[in-house]
Amino acid sequence: MSAPDPNRLALNTATTRKKWSLAEAIAGCARHGIKGIAPWRDQLQVMGVEAAARAIRGNGLTVTGLCRGGMFPAIDPAGRRAAIDENRRALEEAYRLQAQCLILVAGGLPDGSKDIAGARMQIQDGIAALLPLARQARIPLAIEPLHPMYAADRACINTLSQALDLCDALDPPGEGGLGVAVDVYHVWWDPELELQIARAGKARIVAGRGQGHRLSQPGSRLLVRSRLQIALLGRCF
């Protein structure tokens, strides 16, 4: 694999968070010619949303996605309402950063629960509640399927097929505002990966990630070449 073109890369700040603050990550991207950045909300709070937005704009960077919303399931209705409120705040921050999407890590089983079907329904209900605001703000929601090893504690959306079924259920006419994030770390094993990437197409792939790089461009064409490699072939299909 040849060295990636920094113009086509975005830095997910999860990969630098132990060494860099968000301000340092923004400066680092600028210094290395990386045009995109995907900040995490906790680092964003520390820096302050307005200061971050100014620094990002000032360095000519694009926010390819805000990490992260989601975590919808909760043991009671109050917990589920609080999760939706938290996601509304995340959407507002994404709007202020002019992010290309809000990444959703769906959430796992509520404490003490073994009802995975129920948790999945809570996720669907949570995204349904959030979608109108996302469309209004023009911030697409990107459902990220996580590896099944995270099904209990972080996300019980575990395949691209399942994430796309959820998109189809909540956004049947393809009005937009809802899609998927494809991270090779989570999906490389999936026997339906190529099939579901083709199914997702330009309309549904909001973000892609490979080998610690976030290769995120709306409508990017993703091709999985091997277990740990996603190649970005172009900006359009």
Give the residues lining the site for its own copies (CB under 8 A): 109, 114-116, 120, 147-149, 151-152, 156, 158-159, 161-162, 188-191, 226-228
Nearer to its own copies, 59 or 162 (CB): 162
User: Which residues, in sequence order, are bridge partners of residue 105?
Assistant: 70
Question: Minimum Å distance from CB 118 to its own copies?
Answer: 11
In whole angstroms, how close is the CB of 200 to its own copies at the nearest point? 16
Query: Which CB atom, from 20 or from 150, has the smaller least distance to its own copies?
Result: 150
Identify which of residues 42 and 115 has a Cβ nearer to its own copies in the complex. Answer: 115
Which CB atom, from 51 or from 231, has the smaller least distance to its own copies?
231
Indicate the burial class of 163 (C-beta count within 10 angstroms; 0-12, 13-18, 19 or more). Answer: buried
Note whether 15 and 64 are within 8 A (CB). no
Interacting residues of 17 by C-beta distance below 8 A, sequence separation 6+: 25, 40, 43
Contacts of 172 (CB under 8 A, 6+ apart): none
Helix runs in the chain, H state only: 22-32, 41-47, 49-58, 77-96, 116-137, 160-170, 184-187, 193-204
Comparison of 98 and 211: residue with beta carbon closer to its own copies: 211
Q: Which CB, 120 or 214, lies closer to its own copies?
A: 120
> Does residue 174 contact residue 204 with C-beta atoms inside 8 Å?
no
Which residues, in sequence order, are CB contacts of 205 under 8 Å at separation 6+?
179, 180, 182, 197, 219, 220, 222
